[in-house]
């Protein structure tokens, strides 16, 4: 897979997660606890991963096994602290602070690798972050810092570390097998959290309204956890962490867009402006502007020489 295809795979993951916002909201509004949804989603994903790739999983090496289990802890903690934080803070604060992983990544890269991220990539990350703020944040509901904000902040740090480490390990391992062990870890930890905070979700199979929620959770588990996270793992094998974070963050755009299309939600100026900024940030991260300018100057100089001749 070349780099351009890797980028397309990451954006596709963002589209799937954008659709996942709608389904997740439906399931939670229907009465499920977030830990129940988390368990069903990731257990479903692991089952499908095992069914499709069991030969690869059984043939894996110790390096991939260890790194997959290690990454699974970061993936779970990112989800756990994000959802825990949402219980005690506003959705706007939660969305704003969670999106901070785009900003944390350059700092994480510098701390561990002593490498500065390219200025254009930093600007692209900032533009994308501002776009997400405009789309996600209700500025009237932003209040002072509380415990929910702190939990969300911790979750964003774990997201940042997960994206950084996944990009590092995926280049040395089979990305599919690497993600399989992550899904296993999240399933186990989510089950423990579910038994502590709630219980196994009750489903009345004689009542369509009851078991269609389970169907929705399984479907979102297949697409948003099995397909999308596999895409993320594969895509990060062929991209750098900051670029991957920017491309993945498009989920914050596709979620509202799909809500407008599917749920007939209102399209307002904030959404349009946010979309423009996020996609502007994505383009800025992918286009080497200085290289384009140099090529145009060279082309202009050549044309000028031809005219003079």
Per-residue pLDDT tens digits for 98-139: 777 777 777 888 888 777 767 777 787 788 778 877 776 666
d(CA 3, CA 51): 28
209 pLDDT above the threshold of 80: no
Whole-number pLDDT of residue 45: 93
Q: 31-45, 54-68, 166-180, 285-299: which range is least confident on average? A: 285-299
Neighbour-count burial of 8, counting CB atoms closer than 10 A to its CB (0-12 exposed, 13-18 middle, 19+ buried): middle
| Residue 285, CA distances (Å) to 88, 129, 237, 239, 305 in order | 34, 13, 17, 11, 33
Q: Which are the contacts of 252, defined by CB distance < 8 A and separation ≥ 6?
A: 18, 95, 99, 131, 132, 135, 136, 278
Percent of all residues in the chain with a pLDDT value above 90, rounded to a whole number:
17
> What is the Rg, in whole angstroms, of the alpha carbon atoms belonging to the chain?
21
For the segment 18-25, the average pLDDT, to the nearest whole number, is: 79
pLDDT tens track for 139-159: 665 555 677 778 888 888 898
Whole-number pLDDT of residue 292: 46
Whole-number pLDDT of residue 286: 64
State the sign of the Cα–Cα–Cα–Cα dihedral 142, 143, 145, 148: negative
Average pLDDT, the chain: 80
Which H or E run includes 99? none
**What is the DSSP secondary structure assignment for residue 117, as one 8-state letter?**
P
- Are 229 and 181 in contact by the 8 Å Cβ rule? The answer is no
3-state secondary structure of 206: coil
Q: Residue 98, Cβ neighbours under 10 Å: how many?
A: 23
76 pLDDT above the threshold of 90: yes
Q: Please state the separation of Cα 91 from the chain's center in Å.
A: 17
Whole-number pLDDT of residue 74: 94
What tokens were used for 230? 């596999």
Whole-number pLDDT of residue 71: 93
Query: What pLDDT band is residue 46 in, cutting at 50, 70 and 90?
Result: very high
Whole-number pLDDT of residue 301: 52
Neighbour-count burial of 131, counting CB atoms closer than 10 A to its CB (0-12 exposed, 13-18 middle, 19+ buried): buried
**Residue of 166, 179, 95, 186 whose CA lies nearest to 132:** 95
Query: What pLDDT band is residue 297 in, cutting at 50, 70 and 90?
Result: low
Whole-number pLDDT of residue 22: 79
Whole-number pLDDT of residue 272: 83
pLDDT tens track for 247-289: 887 777 777 777 778 777 777 787 788 888 877 877 776 665 4
Whole-number pLDDT of residue 189: 94
**What is the DSSP secondary structure assignment for residue 154, as one 8-state letter?**
H
Percent of all residues in the chain with a pLDDT value above 70, rounded to a whole number:
83
Whole-number pLDDT of residue 181: 93
The torsion region of residue 254 among left (phi > 0), alpha (psi -120 to 50) and beta comes to alpha
């Amino acid at each position: 897979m070349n780099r351009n295809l890797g980028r397309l795979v990451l954006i596709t993951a963002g589209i799937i997660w954008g659709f996942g916002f709608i389904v997740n909201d439906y399931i939670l509004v229907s009465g499920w606890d977030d830990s129940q949804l988390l368990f069903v989603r990731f257990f479903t994903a692991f089952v499908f991963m095992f069914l499709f790739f069991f030969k690869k999983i059984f043939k894996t090496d110790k390096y991939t096994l260890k790194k997959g289990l290690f990454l699974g802890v970061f993936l779970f903690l990112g989800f756990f602290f994000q959802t825990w934080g949402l219980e005690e803070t506003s959705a706007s604060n939660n969305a704003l602070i969670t999106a901070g992983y785009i900003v944390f990544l350059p700092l994480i890269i510098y701390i561990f690798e002593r490498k500065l991220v390219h200025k254009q990539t930093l600007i692209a990350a900032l533009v994308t972050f501002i776009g997400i703020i405009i789309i996600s944040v209700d500025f009237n509901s932003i209040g002072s810092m509380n415990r929910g904000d702190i939990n969300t902040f911790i979750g964003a740090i774990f997201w940042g570390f997960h994206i950084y480490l996944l990009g590092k390990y995926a280049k040395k391992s089979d990305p599919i097998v690497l993600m399989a062990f992550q899904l296993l870890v999240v399933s186990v930890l989510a089950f423990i959290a579910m038994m502590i905070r709630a219980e196994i979700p009750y489903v009345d199979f004689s009542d369509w309204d009851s078991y269609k929620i389970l169907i929705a959770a399984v479907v979102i588990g297949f697409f948003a956890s099995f397909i999308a996270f596999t895409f993320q793992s594969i895509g990060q094998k062929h991209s750098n962490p900051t670029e991957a974070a920017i491309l993945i963050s498009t989920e914050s755009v596709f979620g509202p867009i799909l809500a407008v299309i599917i749920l007939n939600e209102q399209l307002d100026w904030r959404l349009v402006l946010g979309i423009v900024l996020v996609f502007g940030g994505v383009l800025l991260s992918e286009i080497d502007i200085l290289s384009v300018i140099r090529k145009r100057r060279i082309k202009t100089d050549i044309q000028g020489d031809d005219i003079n001749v």
